[in-house]
Structure 1
Amino acid sequence: MSVTLDLSRMAPSSSKEGADAPKPLINLSGLTRPQMVAALAESGVVEHGKAKMRATQIFRWVHHRGITDFAQMSDVAKETRARLADQFTIARPEVVERQVSKDGTRKWLIRMAPGIEVETVYIPSVGRVGALCVSSQVGCTLNCSFCHTGTQALVRNLTAAEIVAQVQIAKDDLGEWPSDKDDRLLSNIVFMGMGEPLYNMGQVADAIEIISDNEGIAISRRRITVSTSGVVPQLEALGEKTQAMLAISLHATNDALRDVLVPLNKKYPLEQLMAGIRAYPGLSNARRVTFEYVMLKGVNDSPDEARALVKLIKGIPAKVNLIPFNPWPGTDYQCSDWAAIETFAAILNRAGYSSPIRTPRGRDILAACGQLKSESEKVRASAMRKLSMAAMAGVLDEDEDEAAA
């Protein structure tokens, strides 16, 4: 069972308790514009009649300009800025570690609160120009046997502010402010990092609304993809609330194998999953579902499995991303031989399905698909840090992005 602790809205911890404790600060970065209007009005910082105008100003400063200090809001009265700082925060969480792969992939370990850490990965030359893989939970409950993230127990859901912060930190590092730069390096967002997004639907939906708002970061919803292992009851809500592109972490064509690879299948077997996908709001040739299929040697990579996959997804506007398995310490799985992957792809192609083979990115910094794992599981003494860090469940490739454009 997932537990949500809204630590992102709290001021740094204090030794004072009870009536003497400081009032928690609300993190404006995690509020949609309507939520921000309400928060400003309720706080008394601005008059009710001016709350909408002030919220628009603040939203643009935070999400279009990328500022982290109310004092930088030059078109807001100095007295108002001081009152905002008394009740709200727009500060970034701490970047504990930054790594850059030889292929240009970047990975950040971000500490949201004491003991609450996640990884975020930027992959260049994916999507239109580059994609950011964000996490929605600290840890994961799904225990997919091929995925390193599944070896880390769920700590809690991330808040909308903590999800948006991952995008802000990437934009800081990439020099992406203001958000309307013509030469932006970040064009796509994929909810394919740590956690199952549909087990954190409310916060994920709010984060998507903030990220896609044209007054701020302004990444189109058609360039935002949410990957799920198959939480069938939430599929319709995902489509209606977010209008995001859908990706399914599939990996098997029959229930017996998928029960092993993706244990959630025992709760929502393939027949239910495929029915939910067919009913996904907005599904069409212009808004295809992406099936993610990790290639495991001798497990799911035979020509018979490819033909079974064609039969399983028949009639669904779809593409299949074939993902060479990325090894991680302690796994028993091996990546399929390249010839087997190409044979598998050829069968899908002949059936009319685009089936790009994803080029592994960031393997040298454990940032590739299936390799992320947060430091929150580690012993907190710096000398005791484990070597490995967690699992990315996928990312858009360029031809899908062009199809969605």
Structure 2
Amino acid sequence: MNDRAERLSGWGRYPVAECMITRPRNAEAVPPLLSHLPKAIARGNGRSYGDASLAPDATVDLRRLDHFIDFDRTSGCLTCEGGALLADIVDTMLPRGWFVPVTPGTKLVTVGGMIASDVHGKNHHVAGSFCDHVEWIDLAIGAGEVLRCSPGEHADLFAATCGGMGLTGVILRACFRLLRVESTAVRQRIVRAATLADAFEIFEASLDWTYSVAWIDCLAQGRHLGRSAIFLGEHALSDQLPPARQAAPLARHARRTKHVPFDFPAFVLSRPSVRLFNRLYYAAQRPGNAIVDIDPFFYPLDAVHDWNRIYGRPGFIQYQCVLPLAESEMGLTRLLREIAAVGEASFLAVLKRMGPASFGMLSFPMEGYTLALDFPANRGSFALLDRLDAITAEHGGHIYLAKDARAGATSFANGYARLDEFRAVRAHYGLDQHFASLLSRRLEI
């Protein structure tokens, strides 16, 4: 175990803070460590975008807690340490015919981070969030104490931890269910939507597809507002593969990767550049069916190492909100009009259909639609995002804490109805005395 001060940030590279970081060698070292630390926060692979895993006094790096502990081939339950990387789980279990039931858009995240953020994926409308598939967690809550939490044991702490952004303790171990698959491929369908209304119609007509997601042109205006390319998917059965792949349906295929070697200059993300990119990308998405590998379908950006450098040295902000189903079309129309009018560039804009709200007290999902966009971290973006916050609130929505780096305490509190319940659980277990982050202080959690 070693302590040292380091300058850290989330994946958005904004904000940057000097943190005293501690790296325990194993899970057994964490509970006694917490007894001697000031208010701490756990940090996995640093893939939350903002300041959720930053604590100047005590940031606990869990990447050494990356062991697999047990796998039950009958139930599909995998037990591992909280610092286990999703990429290692996929690389180990997929060739054996198992895949995670819910995955975010990158596999470079830890299991503990997935639980703390209660991540969702392209299948939330049918499978819920990741924590809906978690059987139990072992949680170090400070003062040397470890509690096993599940829907039937310390259920209040379990619900606070799932989506609780690390503010209830350090996730040492977790057990969760995997999904049986027959191949490493996805049966994909691409559908183009000329307008936002068309995109909604396609999503609602495609609810029987397990996976659905749309890339959306956030700079399109007028009659093109909300034009999108919608990607639908199902895990391919072995007999649906091309003949050449049917003999080894679970074989992995080498993936070419690229690297962003330097911070891009600002003009790369100018409005004309992104507008041109969006037009070309939309035109390139040819409607039709194809068999594609799991990696490009679920993790397209993982093929571009250090892609966060595209936004330049100041970093970027990812804004993700969710709106209730009844308010989604009107609210998203207003959001897209505001973004297109200002012209702040975002070429990574994603729209998804969400299912019912999750059980976690601070979990992000609710039934409706979620929009995620990236913006350069500059004064113009911050002013725009304040206006997007107001529109989101007016339509009964809220933002995603795992992506946030700048929201205010009032707008956050107004969007999360169970915040007082979360605070009460923290106080009941004494967690408010042991765990804090820059995010929790900024949002006055």
Give TM class, smaller chain: under 0.3
The structure that is helix-richer by fraction is 1
* TM-score normalized by the length of structure 1: 0.27
* TM-score normalized by the length of structure 2: 0.25
